[in-house]
């Protein structure tokens, strides 16, 4: 089950590290495995979860070469995209706090996973985070736009989304996209420290308050706000396909 993940427990917290080489591209197998690992952490009685990634790339987002290999197989494309949104919902709906340890770049789907977490710690250095979908020919669904608005504000979210902007760690902290910066080797420890700070609080009131505060995040990921069928219609548009093929050429696929 965990061949694409590394699991480590410490002081009531479980660190789930994405381990799909080379850049933690989110294919259905990785997304499904992540869902199961989150469920298992809760079942095992963990107080919190740290979601970590690679040393240079937290997650590069959805596995575009895999998606493009599916051609016009609408059923397979729907299943692949749904596996990603299922992983996103698993994080958003997790009944225990989740801290993202953003150890490297986090574009597109990698940024979405981070936005689903309660707290985001990003590595200092030459790393970038953002929703760069428009640069590769994809429109950002309403639900994902809502997720960005809730952390950076409405107007700033619009400006970032329109350009498909990636921002560096310092800028991400300044605009509220991440909550904390740490030296590269200390990111996971900082995420654990944030979770440890919650452990001294009265548990039930804290978790209830958290659930109320995150209701809008969960709502953003409901099917009506994601609009997967409309996404797949847009996926087939010539502009989108041309941009995606250019991306594949750049990746050398």
Query: Do 37 and 29 form a contact (C-beta atoms < 8 A)?
Result: no
Strands 5-10 and 13-18: antiparallel
Report d(CA 133, CA 245) in Å as an integer: 14
Report d(CA 227, CA 225) in Å as an integer: 6
Q: In what order do the strands lie in the sheet with 119-123?
A: 5-10, 13-18, 48-52, 98-102, 119-123, 180-182
Query: Do 128 and 166 form a contact (C-beta atoms < 8 A)?
Result: yes
Report d(CA 77, CA 70) in Å as an integer: 7
Q: Any idea which residue has 């996103």 for tokens?
A: 88
Query: What is the rounded (10 degree) CA torsion for 54, 42, 10, 24?
Result: -10
Give 208's contacts (C-beta < 8 A, 6+ positions apart).
none
| 191 C-beta neighbours (distance < 10 Å), count | 30
Task: Evaluate the CA torsion angle 115, 135, 16, 76 in order and state its sign.
Answer: positive
Answer yes or no: 133 catalytic: yes
Active-site hit among 82, 133, 142, 170: 133
Please choose, from the candidates 113, 111, 134, 84, the residue with its C-alpha nearest in 3D space to the C-alpha of residue 237. Answer: 134
For 90-110, give one letter per residue: b (16+ CB within 10 A) or e: bbbebebbbbbbbbbbbbbbb
Q: Which residues are catalytic?
A: 133
């Amino acid at each position: 089950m965990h061949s694409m993940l590394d699991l480590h427990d410490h002081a009531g917290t479980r660190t789930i590290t994405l381990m799909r080489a080379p850049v933690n591209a989110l294919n259905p197998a990785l997304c499904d495995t992540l869902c199961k690992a989150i469920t298992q952490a809760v079942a095992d009685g963990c107080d919190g979860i740290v979601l970590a990634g690679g040393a240079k790339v937290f997650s590069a987002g959805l596995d575009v070469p895999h998606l493009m290999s599916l051609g016009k197989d609408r059923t397979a494309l729907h299943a692949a995209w749904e596996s990603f949104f299922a992983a996103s919902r698993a994080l958003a709906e997790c009944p225990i706090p989740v801290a993202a340890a953003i150890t490297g770049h986090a574009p597109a789907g990698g940024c979405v996973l981070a936005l689903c977490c309660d707290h985001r710690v990003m590595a200092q250095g030459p790393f970038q985070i953002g929703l760069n979908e428009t640069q590769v020919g994809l429109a950002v669904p309403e639900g994902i736009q809502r997720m960005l608005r809730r952390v950076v504000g409405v107007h700033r979210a619009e400006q970032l989304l329109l350009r498909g902007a990636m921002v560096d760690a310092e800028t991400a902290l300044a605009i509220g996209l991440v909550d904390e910066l740490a030296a590269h080797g200390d990111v996971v420890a900082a995420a654990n420290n944030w979770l440890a700070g919650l452990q001294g609080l009265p548990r039930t009131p804290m978790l209830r308050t958290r659930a109320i505060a995150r209701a809008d995040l969960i709502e953003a990921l409901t099917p009506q706000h994601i609009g997967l069928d409309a996404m797949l219609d847009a996926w087939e548009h010539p502009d989108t396909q041309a941009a995606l093929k250019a991306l594949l050429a750049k990746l050398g696929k």
